Structure 1
Amino acid sequence: MANAKQVLDIRVSKGITVAQSNEHLRSRSARAEEYAMSKGNYDPTRERLNFEIVNRGKVRPVDKSRSIPERMADILSRRGIKDPNEGLVEPKYRTVVNIIFGGSRKRMHELAFGTQQVDFEKGADNTRIKRKSDIERWAKDVYTFVSDRYGEENIAAFVVHLDELNPHVHCTLLPIRDGKFAYKEIFAGKDKFEYSQRMKQLHTDFFAEVNTKWGMSRGRSVAETGARHRTTEEYRRMLSEECTTIEENIDRHQKVLSDLQSDIRLAERRVKGLSSMVENLQREKAEKEAQLAALENDMNTRKGDALAISAEKEKLEKELSAIGEKLADKQGKLQVADRQLSDLKENMDAVQERTEELKEEAYRYSRDVHSKVDSLLKDAMVENMVDEWRDLSARMKPSERQMFDGTLVRSVAERGSEVLHCATLLFLGMVDNATTFAETHGGGGGGSDLKWGRDEDEDNRAWALRCMRMANRMMRPAIGKKAKR
């Protein structure tokens, strides 16, 4: 458990769709379930292990009878609070905070399954697996943490999934304070810096109040710890878990999109069929009305047999009444079908937008991973240069060492971090800061005939190289001084 880390991820939205609710509650159609199984991220034989927490920490099976939007509507109605997005063509207020709580895969498996061997292969049968009490106790602690911090009355759903690769909690929270929605006040703060501080504090508090007793560490960002302090295997595992989470989210949203597309096609066919029925009935009604009008005209002008006309008129009136009933029924069904189709298309747009956001997140993540690996390799390269230089320098003759005097190779090998820091300041245009840094760290050889300042057509790479060369000169000890170690 030494390397077990907690997981806390927050996603804010302007509401939650029925499709998203179906995913959280596992209220899927047979086709959606088949799709989920095909992607390998969902095990139907473990769905029975899922549970939710309600009413001061009571554990119960997931209630699929009421969607999360319906639960939210009940909460708002009961408390007399209006959804600010109600009636808007395009929602613009952040009314839902989705929080995922979890931890490192191995630790979460221990909490959920103990020492039982779960088969995570596609199509595996895990009906023999039983849910352990530790996962319920941990989830109750998380529920208490959220309740104490944001109010139990604001929790619309708190579902624990044990049927995916990594057990986790999905908490749907309404950011309400003093009877009104207040996302910015509760979560965001006045700017991105305050938001960042609040999120860091949330991680710290979550660790202190919940996960410290469950053997999980708070964990810190790469910026705080430095990725180079991880072992290769730890770093590889961290990247793999983060990548898997993003891929699972994309797969889940693409699955929902596929289901919605199928539902939309069915709804469109239903609307088309009902529209045809309504048109046929309206045409039939118009024809019957015309016939009835002609009969009434014959009666008024006493044309033809009055008894026969009266009997025909009575027959037409009955037929018209039956057509009217059918027409009203089909028109009502058409209105419902139109509304359902509109809702499905709105859900489709929302899920599609979120899917694109996730794809962009995956792209940014990919670039970030490459940047982190690049930094790791550069760190390793500099450290290796230092070690090799010390070894080679010790075996060199004085005349051989003199060959490297003033070179960037020797400077980086002997004082790599200081030269790089000075070069960074120069690259950013902070010449005064670079000079002060060099002088306070034993430098003094900054006098140079090098042209200084960035050329208009100079690319980043060329500019960075000149900054390194200048930093090398600036970090040379002044005459009569020795370099500080």
Structure 2
Amino acid sequence: MAKQVLDFHASVGMTTNQSNEHQRRWSDRSWKVALKGGNYDRTREHLNFEVAKGGVVQPVDKTKSIPQRIKDTLSERGIIDPNAKMTAKGKDPNRRTVVNIIFGGSREQMHRLAFGDQKVDLTHGADNSLVTRCSDIEEWAKDIYGFACDKWGEENIVGFYVHLDEKNPHIHCSVLPITKQNKFSFKELFAGKDKIEFKERTLQLHNELAQVNEKWGLGRGQSIMETGARHRSTEEYRAELRQECNNLEEEIENHQKLLKVLYSDIRMAEKRCKGLTTMVYNLEQKEADLTAQLCQLESDLTSGAGNAADLRRRITDLEGKLRITTSSLADKRLKLKNADRQLAQLNDEMESVKERTFDLKKERDEAAADVQSLIRMRLTDAVFGKTFVEFGRLIDCLSPEQKAAFGNDFLVHLAEKPAEILKCAMYLFAGYLDGAIQFAKGNGGGGGGSDLP
């Protein structure tokens, strides 16, 4: 049976860039940047959909971003975003107020649910505009939506989008971890009180989801703890990290090129707005002047001051000029309104690209830090091993009296039992406190006790 996929990540909020990605709320320019990576197929973008309140399947609603949805739902429920309070006080927000969940499964089965027997060409740049969406993917999505509602409450779901324009169909579900008492608590809804409970809850979540996915041909994968599956080698991991850094650098470069174009477009749009504003002001002044002259001539005609025929001719001439000016003024006001809107859109797009570029740089730095950490671990491992092998050899050469001079020094323990201490440290580093305690208790020699510090 094909395997299900479930992954969730908590964050301090939802950025506009994340929201735009979930909703595909992109301009043509942003689409071009996204398509360069080869992860998206714009010819299948129309197949994407969302599941709205009540489990209703509908086209993706792009009129309101997810951050705005969050703001609206908190306002309706009278809940204050704790991160907003911290930001207002000049502090860095640290409360996990949004949980982003991905639901999916093995590619072959997900394609069967989404496209049936239709051929989907996954080659970069391929045209799949004739591919249609199957009802099975909608029914599966509604089942997953019901599962999410039962687990975390429908009122807490602020986004539920099904993407069929990537290589593997999947769901992006954004949940606010709000309790029945209308309080934000990631621990209460997801994590539990400690790492052990978090692990148990996560395993249980996979089990419960598997019951929903069973009828859709998706089963629960086995835990690495159960299978003893081999992790990637250091070389494989390092190669992946390097490739990730290269990909991120390329994407950052694309975004920086896009920013240059946007800056140029914004400058042109600003000049256009400024020019139109001047035109509108001049036309308004002209309209006011013509209106004043017309009023004076009509007053003169009424009072009998001057030649009546000449006054009527001048009034007719001014009325013609006023009509032309008023029409031109209306045209320039409309153009100014459109120019202001385009300028606002360009500024919004620039902010979104800036935000995404910042996120990419952060991801690149994290990936680079992982590479450096990996190198440090390898160097430490080599130096550590060599150091304590040599130290252990020297300890063995000492007389009992000389050994006694070291007393219960930690170096002696490392020299005598390096493997045991490192294994215990590994358990502690991984957060597996119970395992570390049990291991320490059971590795003290034949008697079962332990003098490991």
TM-score, scaled to structure 1: 0.58
Partner of residue 402 from structure 1, selected from 397, 404, 417? 397
The answer as to 2:206 corresponding to 1:207 is yes
Q: Distance in 2 between matches of 1:2 and 1:271?
A: 57
Q: Distance in 1 between matches of 2:253 and 2:172?
A: 14
Q: Deviations over 1:398-430 (max 9, x none)?
A: x99738997999975652246669999xxxxxx
Q: Distance in 1 between matches of 2:197 and 2:243?
A: 22
For 1:219-238, list aligned pairs within 5 A.
230-232=231-233, 236=237
Which residue identity does 1:47 align to in structure 2?
A: E
What is the deviation of 1:5? 6.2
Note closer, same or farther for the CA distance 1:38–1:351 as it changes in structure 2 (3 Å cut): closer
For 1:26-425, list aligned pairs within 5 A.
26=24, 28-47=26-45, 49-54=47-52, 56-57=54-55, 59=57, 62-63=59-60, 66-69=62-65, 76=72, 97=98, 99-102=100-103, 107-113=105-111, 120-125=122-127, 139-173=141-175, 185-187=184-186, 203-211=202-210, 214-217=218-221, 230-232=231-233, 236=237, 243=244, 247=248, 254=255, 264=266, 267-268=269-270, 271-289=273-291, 291-292=293-294, 295=297, 304-317=306-319, 319-320=321-322, 323-324=325-326, 326-327=328-329, 330-331=332-333, 334-335=336-337, 337-338=339-340, 341-342=343-344, 344-346=346-348, 348-349=350-351, 352-372=354-374, 374-375=376-377, 378-379=380-381, 402=397, 414-417=416-419
**Retained in 1: the 8 A contact 2:162–2:170?**
yes
Which residue identity does 1:50 align to in structure 2?
A: N
Q: Distance in 2 between matches of 1:412 and 1:420?
A: 9
Which residue identity does 1:122 align to in structure 2?
A: H
Q: Distance in 1 between matches of 2:395 and 2:330?
A: 101
Note closer, same or farther for the CA distance 1:332–1:30 as it changes in structure 2 (3 Å cut): closer
For residue 160 of structure 2, give the secondary structure of its aligned residue in structure 1.
strand
Q: Distance in 1 between matches of 2:162 and 2:255?
A: 22
**Retained in 2: the 8 A contact 1:274–1:333?**
yes
For residue 40 of structure 2, give the secondary structure of its aligned residue in structure 1.
coil
Deviates more, 1:347-356 or 1:37-46: 347-356
Which residue identity does 1:24 align to in structure 2?
A: H
For residue 210 of structure 1, give the secondary structure of its aligned residue in structure 2.
helix
Note closer, same or farther for the CA distance 1:135–1:313 as it changes in structure 2 (3 Å cut): closer
- Of the two structures, which has the highest relative contact order with CA contacts closer than 8 Å and spacing of 6 or more? 2
For residue 34 of structure 2, give the secondary structure of its aligned residue in structure 1.
helix
Unaligned segments of structure 1, at least 5 residues: 394-398, 425-437, 444-481
Q: Distance in 2 between matches of 1:324 and 1:140?
A: 56
Q: Deviations over 1:307-332 (max 9, x none)?
A: 31133235424543553465356446
What is the deviation of 1:36? 2.7
Note closer, same or farther for the CA distance 1:35–1:84 as it changes in structure 2 (3 Å cut): same
For residue 230 of structure 1, give the secondary structure of its aligned residue in structure 2.
coil
Unaligned segments of structure 2, at least 5 residues: 427-439
What is the deviation of 1:367? 0.8
Which residue identity does 2:39 align to in structure 1?
A: N
Identity %: 34
TM-score, scaled to structure 2: 0.61
Deviates more, 1:132-141 or 1:269-278: 132-141
What is the deviation of 1:8? 1.7
For residue 8 of structure 2, give the secondary structure of its aligned residue in structure 1.
strand
Note closer, same or farther for the CA distance 1:296–1:400 as it changes in structure 2 (3 Å cut): closer
What is the deviation of 1:276? 3.9
**Retained in 2: the 8 A contact 1:154–1:176?**
yes
The count of aligned residue pairs is 404
Q: Deviations over 1:294-352 (max 9, x none)?
A: 64686699664233113323542454355346535644663564366346535643552
Deviates more, 1:319-328 or 1:230-239: 230-239
**Retained in 1: the 8 A contact 2:6–2:101?**
no
**Retained in 2: the 8 A contact 1:7–1:100?**
yes
